């Protein structure tokens, strides 16, 4: 599976964080993996590992986002945009394999695909302040 596809699946899992209690998230990960097209073990491990790493740092990621936004704290953001921004911020700050410019570009592409017409510019604007 290509990195973009992996990123889309991680985004889909992060989106669920806003709709389920912490104790349900492990089960949601299993459901997510079962309901998607079969993937090889390497891809499943990559998705699971990265999702868990992001979930474990959500408080830090949200603090970073909130510190750089005015009038748009994480509790006011759309769920799609928030999941995309969280993924990108994680990649920018903690994933040494992903250059910041790639994290931002991929986030904007996710916003184009899954968000509203305004989502790409909103995501880009927030991430530009954080970098």
Provide the token pair at 79: 């769920």
What mean pLDDT comes out for the span 33-38? 72
Place of tokens 């709709």: 19
Statement: residue 25 has pLDDT above 70 = no
- Non-local (6+) Cβ contacts of 77 within 8 A are 85
Sequence ranges of the domains in the chain: 3-130
Residue with tokens 């005015």, as numbered in its chain: 70
Under CATH, domain 3-130 is a member of which superfamily?
Answer: NusB-like (1.10.940.10)
Alpha helix stretches (DSSP H) within 1-130: 3-17, 25-35, 41-56, 58-67, 79-94, 100-114, 119-130
Q: How confident is the model at residue 20 (pLDDT cuts 50, 70, 90)?
A: low
Model pLDDT for residues 65-107, shown as the tens digit of each residue: 999 998 888 989 999 999 999 999 999 999 999 999 999 999 9
Distance CA 29, CA 48 (A): 8
SS3 73: coil
Q: How far is CA 18 from CA 27, 83, 125, in A?
A: 15, 9, 22
Residue 32 has pLDDT above 90, yes or no: no
Given CA atoms 98, 99, 100, 105 in this order, what sign does their dihedral have? negative
């Amino acid at each position: 599976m290509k990195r973009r596809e992996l990123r889309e699946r991680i985004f889909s899992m992060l989106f669920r964080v806003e709709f389920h209690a912490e104790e349900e998230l492990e089960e949601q990960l299993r459901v997510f993996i079962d309901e998607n097209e079969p993937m090889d073990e390497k891809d499943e491990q990559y998705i699971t590992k990265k999702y868990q790493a992001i979930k474990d740092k959500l408080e830090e990621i949200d603090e970073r986002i909130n510190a750089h936004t005015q009038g748009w704290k994480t509790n006011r953001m759309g769920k799609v945009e928030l999941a995309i921004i969280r993924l990108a911020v994680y990649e920018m700050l903690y994933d040494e394999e992903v250059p910041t410019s790639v994290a931002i570009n991929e986030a904007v592409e996710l916003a184009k695909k899954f968000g509203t017409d305004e989502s790409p510019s909103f995501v880009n604007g927030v991430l530009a302040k954080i970098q």
